Amino acid sequence: MSSGSIEERFPALATSPPALAWLRMRADLGLAPRTLDAYARGLSEYLTFCTECAVEPVEAGRDHIARFVRHLTERPSQRPTPGDPVPSPARLANATVQQRLTAVRLFYEYLVEEGLRMVSPVGRGRRATVGRPGGGKRGLVPRQSRLPWIPDDQDWSAVLAAAAREPIRNRTMLAFAYDAGLRREELCSLRTDDIDPARRLLRVRAETTKSRRERVVPYSAPSGELLRAYLAHRGELSHARGPLFLSESRRNPAAPLTPWTWSKVVRRIALAAGVPRFATHTLRHLCLTDLARAGWEIHAIATFAGHRSPETTMLYIHLSGRDLAAKLASGMAHIHDRRVALLAAAGLMATP
């Protein structure tokens, strides 16, 4: 999370002591900063909604939850950014809606455990889902599963052309984000002692990862050349060991570069390239998809990416089209051989 207390970043939380107590408890239990930030954001929106509805969150009923669901599914995803030529999507993404509702559901489960409510107004799903073994349960909002977007060759070339005009730090970060398939927080959390230039390896520390799993991944020779040039430049800012990528702003010179600053850098590159869908996580998606296209096995990609579940890794196998292409090629070859055999049996392919 960024600097500043939760209350300062999300003022609506200050109106609900139980909400603050729950979030602080989750933080004390070691919840990942990014997840904590998402919970705080979702719960803040819900508390604001309750204020607009003139209802105390502790006393809200299922009807209020239903209205909040409607609010989430119908409201615009964000306000237009001044000077941004790309209009924002009309509605919140399904994954964002699910994330907001998860925060609210966990908050009410906490209230029940603390004896502040008898039952939670947010269920995990009560309606049977057709086609699922045992009947299954569906949540308040049907969950959609979409493959991540990755740039085509033309988009990628445009991004690289725009990135070539960036300072050495930004070019190095872009190369490492793709080369090692790093998440935004993992990239910005790299330290000078995480790098092994002799073997071209970098260590992604457990505390910086989403899965809390440490891993060691390689990077390419071109990325190594960029790193060498950046380290020479970094020496002009600071000779101290510590965070690898440093801020060069007048306000925070030599301070660790934050994930939010990196997001702004990538957004600037995306707009300059004319590829507005390009974002920080796109680099990771593209890397893992390319590994799947190159024939890497699922367990190898999962280890490289630090995935807990093979199901997550399968997204990139599907996105690469590798399995489907192999099956199509195999099937077409079988059909082709059969048809050739039939033609030969009919005498249509006899040698003249």
Convert the pLDDT of each residue in 145-192 to its tens digit.
677 888 999 999 999 999 999 999 999 999 999 999 999 999 999 999
Q: Which CATH architecture has domain 153-320?
A: Orthogonal Bundle (1.10)
6-113: which CATH topology?
DNA polymerase; domain 1 (1.10.150)
Convert the pLDDT of each residue in 11-22 to its tens digit.
899 889 999 999
Convert the pLDDT of each residue in 98-146 to its tens digit.
889 999 999 999 999 999 999 999 876 443 333 344 444 556 777 666 7
From residue 20, give the alpha-carbon distance in Å to each of 7, 9, 28, 137: 8, 12, 12, 30
Q: State how far the Cα of 245 lies from the Cα of 212, in Å rounded to an integer.
A: 22
pTM summary value: 0.68
Convert the pLDDT of each residue in 83-105 to its tens digit.
454 454 557 788 888 889 999 99
Q: Which residue has the tokens 């889902």?
A: 129
Reference 185, options 98, 121, 243, 126; nearest CA is 243
Q: State how far the Cα of 223 lies from the Cα of 178, in Å rounded to an integer.
A: 10
pLDDT value at position 324? 57
Q: Taking 70 as the threshold, does the pLDDT of residue 260 lie above it?
A: yes
For the chain, the structural domain boundaries read 6-113, 153-320
pLDDT value at position 59? 93
3-state helix, strand, coil in the chain (%, to 5): 55, 5, 40
pLDDT value at position 328? 56
Q: State how far the Cα of 275 lies from the Cα of 85, in Å rounded to an integer.
A: 12
pLDDT value at position 96? 85
Q: Taking 80 as the threshold, does the pLDDT of residue 54 lie above it?
A: yes
pLDDT value at position 129? 36
CB contact at 8 A, 301 and 288 = yes
Core vs surface per residue 245-263: b (16+ CB within 10 A) or e: bbbbeeeeebebbbbebbe
